[in-house]
Amino acid sequence: MYLETRYNNGSASSSHGVYARNAHGQEWLLRSDNVTYRTIGGSYDLYFLSGPTPKEVIRQYQGGVVGLPQMQMYWTFGFHQCRWGYQNWTVLQEIVDGYANAGIQLETIWTDIDYMDQYRDFTNGAMNFPVPAGQAFLAKLHAAGQHYVPIVDSNIYAPNPTNGSDSYEPFQRGAALSAFIRNPDDGDFYYGDNWPGFSVWTDYLVPQGQQFWTEELVKWYGDIPYDGIWIDLSEASSFCVGSCGTGRLQENPVHPPFRLPGDFNNVDFNYPEAFNVTNATEAASAVAASSSQVAANAATALPAATTTSSSATFVRTKPTPGVRNLDFPPYVINNLFEGHSLLKNTIAPNATHNDAFNTTEYEMHNLFGHQIANATYHALLSVFPGRRPFVISRSNFAGSGNITGHWGGDNTSKWGSMYFSIAQALQFMMAGIPMFGVDTCGFAGNTDAELCNRWMQLSAFFPFYRNHNVFASIPQEAYRWSSVAAATRTVMNIRYSLLPYMYTLFYEAHTSAETVMRALAWEFPNDAQLLNVDNQFMLGPSLLITPVLEPLVTTVKGVFPGVADGVIWYDWYTL
């Protein structure tokens, strides 16, 4: 979907939009005088959105085509903390206590894949995250009015059939239902590769897929009373080419075909721009350590299990009349991967669903993220009857805002990533997925006090407010630096005082397709100078946010739109 505004030499502008509905692999070429649509399957249903204002175009798209965003629970607008690397329930309690001791309101604590038993969905590691200790932790957390959200990956581990101790009941139950996508070459399940090893993926095109997913989430809730679900890897992601586990399940559990963050000689020494100015000695040490690590790795082989990533030659294929080559179609879309392959890093296009039409992933790939989010939404209705489900997911489709929120994926601890998050958020407001936020302070790489300070300030005005990073990097909870803690307390007081305002904006989005975060050009559509403003945004119709987006500065550059037409702006702090 695109939105175009045309400015008419000082008179009122006119805006329109087009939604081109197609779920196949595709690419759009936007040029100054035309748009070219290319798809490798299906047809385009073109919806023309007449506007004439930007907000009307967005309202027509959401309210008239893909559906209105879901209404969220009030507590979800609080502050969330996560990290890939929280080792056990005791560490989680230390994080909760750390925020309390710092006087920073923490609404929700999250866990990444660390809690799982060998990275397997719907399990808890008996050593680090045992169920009894988890129940005690969550009872205390819930008694304090706080919440817990765990990650759930999109793949289901396929146990080693030659090892009785490798039994994994969720797989057995799903297999009995025929709830998994299949490999057309042998009719068995499609076995790709992910964190736990060779895995399968749930088939949400058939009723037994929803049945399996609901039953597993309900059963697991009986052990671990979570409050929402975070869906990851829902592109869906696979670490190998094709059904690489076929005939090899006896090798499970296999190591991912790459070093994990934090593994030996895989420490991240990256820091934000200007770190060498504010922390010269530490920056020099990081450069030296990084050089040593690179030298050591030059002579170190990757784990043996990299053999799960079978090689393939990605080339253009010549069409054969009457024959469809789903894995290597004649037209090669520009999808960024090596050779532009449709096979790499995902379920292969020829993988087949269990419906009556034997629908393939060639048709369904771009819908998998929407399907698993939808299945999770409806599963949570069974877990919490009468309560609004809280789902955050990685891969989405048009209309996903009806059922899920979204986070911006694996960003980096760089000022540029923070800057880009504004444009990214505005795109998701257009898309009708307003429950959006990014990994505050950055996911990959090490943050520093200045970047984390500014990012905690900026994200306080995003609907979904979460700090999250990878365990190869330094801890970055907001209380780790006194300056960040002080800035966080200040900005969080503002955010919490604005929660009724933000909640009202979501109600208006849910009922009438209003936007929550807004580009200045949407709110003041007749001022052509605002078209390229991407360092500021509006929160609803009343608040103008002008964040600090670069290091080593004490002033910001921005505009006060509408002043020439009599709009009056008030300073938040002094009124």
Query: Catalytic residue positions?
Result: 232, 235, 410
Angle separating helix axes 449-459 and 482-497, nearest 10 degrees: 0
3-state secondary structure of 165: helix
Would you tell me how many other CB atoms lie within 10 Å of the CB of residue 565? 9
CA dist 188 and 346 (Å) reads 18
Q: In this structure, what token pair is assigned to residue 113?
A: 């894949």
Query: Residue 28: beta bridge partners?
Result: 37
Provide the 8-state DSSP code for 202.
B
Q: Check: CB of residue 93 under 8 Å from CB of residue 425.
A: no
Alpha helix (H) residue ranges in 385-529: 415-431, 449-459, 482-497, 499-512, 520-523
Looking only at the bridges linking them, the beta strands covering 439-440 and 391-393 are: unpaired
381: closest CA among 170, 131, 213, 209? 213
End-to-end CA separation in angstroms for the chain: 39
Q: Are 415 and 239 in contact (CB under 8 A)?
A: no
- Taking residue 189's Cβ as centre, other Cβ atoms within 10 Å add up to 26
Q: CA-CA distances (angstroms) from residue 135 to 153, 168, 226, 338, 548?
A: 22, 22, 10, 46, 41
HEC string of 112-162 equals: CHHHCECCECCCCCCCCCCHHHHHHHHHHHHHCCCEEEEEEECEEECCCCC
